[in-house]
Amino acid sequence: MSHVVAQLQEALGASVSLDADALEATREDRSGWRSATPPLAVVHAGSVEEVRRVMRIAHANGTPVVPRGAGTGLAGGAIASPGAIVLDLSRMNRILEISEADELAVVEPGVVNGDLNDALAPLGLWFAPDPASRAIASVGGNIATNAGGLLCAKYGVTREAVLGVAVVLADGRLIRLGHRTVKGVTGYDLTALFTGSEGTLGIIVEATVRVRPITAGVPVTVAAAFADVTAAAAACAAVTADRIRPAILELMDAGVVARVAAFLGDEALAGTPLEQVLPGETFLIAQTDDAGATSEAARIAELFAEAGGRVTLSTDEATGERLLDLRRAMHPALAASGQVLIEDVAVPRSKLPEMFRAIDEIAARHGVEIPTIAHAGDGNLHPNFVFTGDEVPAHIWQAADEMFRAAVALGGTLTGEHGVGVLKRRWLAEELGDDVFELQRGIKAVFDPTGILNPGVMFEASVVAAR
Amino acid sequence: MSHVVAQLQEALGASVSLDADALEATREDRSGWRSATPPLAVVHAGSVEEVRRVMRIAHANGTPVVPRGAGTGLAGGAIASPGAIVLDLSRMNRILEISEADELAVVEPGVVNGDLNDALAPLGLWFAPDPASRAIASVGGNIATNAGGLLCAKYGVTREAVLGVAVVLADGRLIRLGHRTVKGVTGYDLTALFTGSEGTLGIIVEATVRVRPITAGVPVTVAAAFADVTAAAAACAAVTADRIRPAILELMDAGVVARVAAFLGDEALAGTPLEQVLPGETFLIAQTDDAGATSEAARIAELFAEAGGRVTLSTDEATGERLLDLRRAMHPALAASGQVLIEDVAVPRSKLPEMFRAIDEIAARHGVEIPTIAHAGDGNLHPNFVFTGDEVPAHIWQAADEMFRAAVALGGTLTGEHGVGVLKRRWLAEELGDDVFELQRGIKAVFDPTGILNPGVMFEASVVAAR
């Protein structure tokens, strides 16, 4: 047993696991990516003090540390790297405080997003960030990736909901960043810097997050089928042009619709608008909320119809939820249909039609299927490359590479919400440019001078074998 | 003439000014703070290329550079420091693009906030950040200070409206940060890092900002007079407890009410609710908007009345604007009544009553008047220390020091929205703590290794004499 593991066991006792299954489980997240080896050890930290002990030992020995929450990431940002300690924070799942008067909650990082919302709901409050994985993803992971999701065009990304964080630094010191106030400009905004830093700057051990009153009224849902993606994208543009900002605006292309339908089966679809979608058609779901929900939804229905859609409008909440469940079934449906490499590009909304055209061309060129879902309200697309076998084939990497370039050429970005992780670091410098890449590395070095925090994620040379 | 000035003149010709009045004008902003000396020169840059030339010359010579926009700052963050070049960006005031489809605008930094909104309004669009100085403040300055204002509890701070920036680095290189998309998590969020960086990391030469549909419907305004600040603060808390988030919630204490009334005169007040406010009373203004405006305002009026307020409700926009003009008259009214040191503390909303109590005690202890206005919706207070003479007297500094400590002790912060500048740097390390202070200096060093960008602002040892 290594010296480091012995030190961990002495300092942390039963929180240290060397169990083969526990080690094995940290080799992957939900991206399908898998690390080359298991970690040295997994520490299931139960307190800030335990996290500090881990970092002191890692710092003293120069041992890499991979912070990990619920393991639901989609970019390989929290998986074991060779010789690393995996610092599992999922046991730190207490809600420490909910302040109704200050509209905030103080939580440990392992709290599951949905659990926090379950605690808030009876108070009429709500934590807005909603990655489609709210039932399984932790708030710490939401912050580490600056998670996006379905509601961002109207309710913002995770960054807008984070007021402050407590962080254990690479050498074990504990710092507090941010405020319990909506405003605060004392120095650089390090809370925002940590949001989306993917465990490469420090270990988030506590977060103070904004909560907001649950939006009043019943949401109204508009669904529509369109002959093709271009018509559906035009319908989305018409909504924007009408100065309507729906809470949700999701686009499922024909490939996604077919897979979701096959996965869920006829019974689950019975009575839903998805049942009526014809092969090859694109499906759009819009949802409006707050006091203007009814009139906005009626106008969206008009606009969808004018754009050629067959429209269904649902004013009851249950139907709306059922429709969104169809959308949320995308990941399991794809997983069931083979191996998947999930892209996460974002483009300016006006470029959605061009991006879909590029996806079609890339799919044809490489002879691959690329079922695609889009958060159409904010221009974030998830083209999914389906393949067989255990390793991503070369032609899939080539297709993904062309996809990334197409998005950046349209004024977009490599990753809208999943993060860089190990999956996309090959493209980071190319999108950022050498000057910005070096500045980012400079910031990393300020916080992690010896490079022990999540090495291989975002920046470093590849140390994780491809799946 | 110095070697540096000669180089500037050769490279930039007529954009370089040595005119005594021009130099003199850069010694102050709207904080009342004044630098010890005029700058070496003022460069009225007209293009990105001119900014790059200035930085190359400054970098080669180790000459400090102070970026400056409209000069409306309230913390001495953009005033001449000894031996510095003032880089005036107010000529770079073009709106480069407005994209309705992507709901964004691309602007030069010198564009005045109100001018941008004038260009957006005919399109039904709106740039939400509204420091009370929108008629005179530049968008670049809004970004450099992460400006707050009246609407933040509902519509967010400036950071939430900035998608990307182009920056000239200390050595003259040009970089682009951020995206034209709502989402984007490729690397650390350097756009957020620059927002609020007060000219200490680089020169913002272009910004891509989010715009949003103008909120539909007519805003409704509720005004009320309360016997004292405590009753008014309780009324604000009742609004929050009722899960209402008004667009605006402003509190003017008796000292502010008296000064605004004296400044504007009876004629301007005639017919407004402020006319009815009795000496010693506190005045609250709430404004609701969007589709729920009418019912929310009615409920706020009830809650204000239950809390002991004498309430007026105005459904027409003109009356609402007139009320907000009373609020906006605070700065000129105070300026007219003597010298003022403006504080900008923020506390969690629930601590407003305690903070007002602390202000009263500090005022009594030091025998000073501290008329105070608060953005009550977000807990941001502006206690104003009125004094006579050219220099801030020692007892005023002492009182301000106690105010800062009181805010931090209540879980608050030194500055909610004005920034640190030179005015508040004496307290920065104390609020942040040594570890975070050193990390912030580390970040500064990554971007500005030779320390030429706005030295004296935020961090460095005092090089600007007190007023």
The tens digit of pLDDT for each residue in B410-431 reads 999 999 999 999 999 989 999 9
pLDDT value at residue A467: 34
Contact B188 A196 (CB under 8 A): yes
Distance CA A90, CA A97 (A): 18
Write out pLDDT tens, residues A187-210: 999 999 999 999 999 999 999 999
pLDDT of the residue at A1? 60
Give me the torsion for CA of B87, B93, B97, B100, rounded to 10°: 120
pLDDT (average), residues B196-218: 95
Residue B460, pLDDT score: 67
- Smallest Cα–Cα separation from A143: which of A171, A175, A106? A106
pLDDT(A465) > 60 = no
Q: Averaged over A431-439, what is the pLDDT?
A: 97
Residue of A436 and B31 predicted with greater confidence: A436
Residues 6+ apart with CB under 8 A from A8: A16, A41, A43, A54, A57, A85
- Beta strands (DSSP E) in A146-194 are 162-168, 174-178
pLDDT digits (tens, 9 = 90+) for A312-322: 999 988 888 88
Of B196, B202, B144, B195, give the one whose Cα is nearest residue B173. B202
Q: What share of chain B has pLDDT > 90, as a percent? A: 82
From the list B212, B241, B420, the residue facing A187 with the nearest CB is: B420
Q: Which of B104, B185, B295 sits opposite A145 (nearest CB)?
A: B185
Q: Which residue(s) pair with A60 in the sheet? A: none
A 347-406 → B contacts, CB under 8 A: 347-350, 375, 378-380
Question: Does pLDDT of B467 surpass 70?
Answer: no
Q: Is the pLDDT of residue A461 over 60?
A: no
pLDDT of residue A323: 86
Q: Is A122 helix (H, G, I), strand (E, B) or coil?
A: helix
B185, B241, B346: residue with CB nearest A419: B185
What local confidence, expressed as pLDDT, does residue B389 receive?
85
Instruction: Give residue-wise pLDDT tens across range A227-278.
Output: 999 999 999 999 999 999 999 999 999 999 999 999 999 888 888 888 889 9
Tokens of B136: 């005179």
Domains, in order of start, for chain B? 95-213 (3.30.465.10), 216-335 (3.30.70.3450), 338-419 (3.30.70.2740)
Q: Do A101 and B237 touch (CB under 8 A)?
A: yes
Kindly report, residue by residue over A357-405, the tens digit of the pLDDT: 999 999 999 999 999 999 999 999 999 998 888 888 999 999 999 999 9
Predicted local distance difference test score (pLDDT) of residue B464: 34
Tell me the ipTM for this assembly.
0.95
DSSP states of A383-440 as a string? EEEEE-SSS--HHHHHHHHHHHHHHHHTT-BSBSSS--TTTSHHHHHHHH-HHHHHHH
Amino acid identity, position B275: E
Going by DSSP bridges, is the β-strand pair A203-210/A282-288 parallel, antiparallel, or unpaired?
unpaired
From chain B, the residues in CB contact with A159 under 8 A are 189, 192
Q: Give per-residue burial for B226-242: e unless 16+ CB within 10 Å, then b.
A: bebbbbbbbbbbbbbee
Give me the residue from A181, A415, A437 closest to B413, CB to CB. A181
Rounded CA separation B397/B402 (Å): 9
Summarised one tens digit per residue, pLDDT across range B295-306 is 999 999 999 999
Q: How confident is the model at residue A294 (pLDDT cuts 50, 70, 90)?
A: very high
Tokens 């509720």 belong to which residue? Answer: B222
Q: Above 60 in pLDDT, residue A444? A: yes
pLDDT at residue B245, rounded to an integer? 92
> Looking at beta carbons, which residues of chain B come within 8 Å of A190?
436, 439-440
Say whether B190 and A237 touch across the interface (CB within 8 A).
no
Q: Cβ contact (<8 Å) for B440 and A159?
A: no
- Nearest-CA distance from A429 to chain B in Å? 9
- Is B434 within 8 Å of chain A by CB? no
Radius of gyration, alpha carbons of chain A: 22
Given CB atoms, is B192 within the 8 Å cutoff of chain A?
A: yes
Residue B229: pLDDT over 90: yes
CA A275 to chain B, closest CA, distance in angstroms equals 32
Task: Name the band, by pLDDT with cuts 50, 70 and 90, for residue B1.
Answer: low
Cα distance between residue B340 and residue B255, in whole Å: 13
Check: CB of residue B152 under 8 Å from CB of residue A183.
Answer: yes
Confidence class of residue A143 from pLDDT cuts 50, 70 and 90? very high
Q: What percent of chain A has pLDDT over 70?
A: 98
Q: Give contacts of A 11-50 with B, CB under 8 A.
A: none
Flag if B290 and A295 touch (Cβ within 8 Å): no
Please, are residues A126 and A118 in contact by the beta-carbon 8 Å criterion? no
Q: Report the relative pairing of strands B220-226 and B310-314 from DSSP bridges.
A: antiparallel
* Cβ-Cβ contacts under 8 Å, A180 against chain B: 348, 411-412
Quote the tokens at residue A209.
């997050």
pLDDT over 60 at A466, yes or no:
no
Residue in A157, A183, A244 nearest the CB of B183: A157
- Three-state SS letters, chain B: CCHHHHHHHHHHHHHEECCHHHHHHCCECCCCCECCCCCCEEEECCCHHHHHHHHHHHHHHCCCEEEECCCCCCCCCCCCCCCCEEEECCCCCCEEEEECCCCEEEECCCCEHHHHHHHHHHHCEECCCCCCCCCCCEHHHHHHHCCCCCCHHHHCCHHHHEEEEEEECCCCCEEEEECCCCCCCCCCCHHHHHCCCCCCCCEEEEEEEECEECCCCCCEEEEEEECCHHHHHHHHHHHHHCCCCCCEEEEECHHHHHHHHHHHHHHHHCCCHHHHCCCCCEEEEEEECCCCHHHHHHHHHHHHHHCCCEEEEECCHHHHHHHHHHHHCHHHHHHHCCEEEECECECCHHHHHHHHHHHHHHHHHHCCCCCEEEECCCCEEEEEEEECCCCCCHHHHHHHHHHHHHHHHCCCECECCCCCCCCCHHHHHHHHCHHHHHHHHHHHHHHCCCCCECCCCCCCCCCCCCC
SS (H, E, C) B229-262: HHHHHHHHHHHHHCCCCCCEEEEECHHHHHHHHH
Query: Is residue B163 very low, low, confident or very high in pLDDT (cuts 50, 70, 90)?
Result: very high
Give percent above pLDDT 70 in chain B: 98
Residues in B touching A417 (Cβ below 8 Å): 183, 185
Q: How confident is the model at residue B465 (pLDDT cuts 50, 70, 90)?
A: very low
Mean of per-residue pLDDT scores for chain A: 93
Render pLDDT for B389-401 as a digit per residue (tens, 0 to 9).
888 899 999 999 9
Of B38 and B392, the structure prediction assigns the larger pLDDT to B38
pLDDT in tens, B256-306: 999 999 999 988 888 888 888 999 999 999 999 988 899 999 999 999 999
Residue with tokens 């600056």: A146
A121/B contact by beta carbon, under 8 A: no
Query: Touching check for A236 and chain B: CB below 8 Å?
Result: no
Strands A339-342 and A372-375: unpaired
Alpha-carbon radius of gyration of chain B: 22
> Hey, what are B463's tokens?
């090089």
The interface residues of chain A toward chain B in range 138-177, judged by CB-CB distance below 8 A, are 145-146, 148, 152-153, 156-157, 159-160, 169, 173, 175-177
CA–CA separation, A395 and A387 (whole Å): 10
State the burial class of residue A13 (Cβ atoms within 10 Å of its Cβ: 0-12, 13-18, 19+). exposed
**Nearest CA of chain B to the CA of A210: how many Å?**
11
What is chain B's mean pLDDT, rounded?
93
The pLDDT of residue A464? 34
B411: chain A residues, CB-CB within 8 Å: 179-181
> Distance of CA A419 to CAs A70, A251, A455, Å?
16, 21, 15
pLDDT confidence of residue B272: 84
- Measured distance CA(B396)–CA(B62) in Å, rounded: 36
List chain A residues with CB under 8 Å of B124: 243
Judging contacts by C-beta atoms under 8 Å, the chain A residues touching residue B193 are 188-189, 192-193
Per the structure block, which two tokens stand in for B340? 């003022």
Mean pLDDT of A413-424: 94
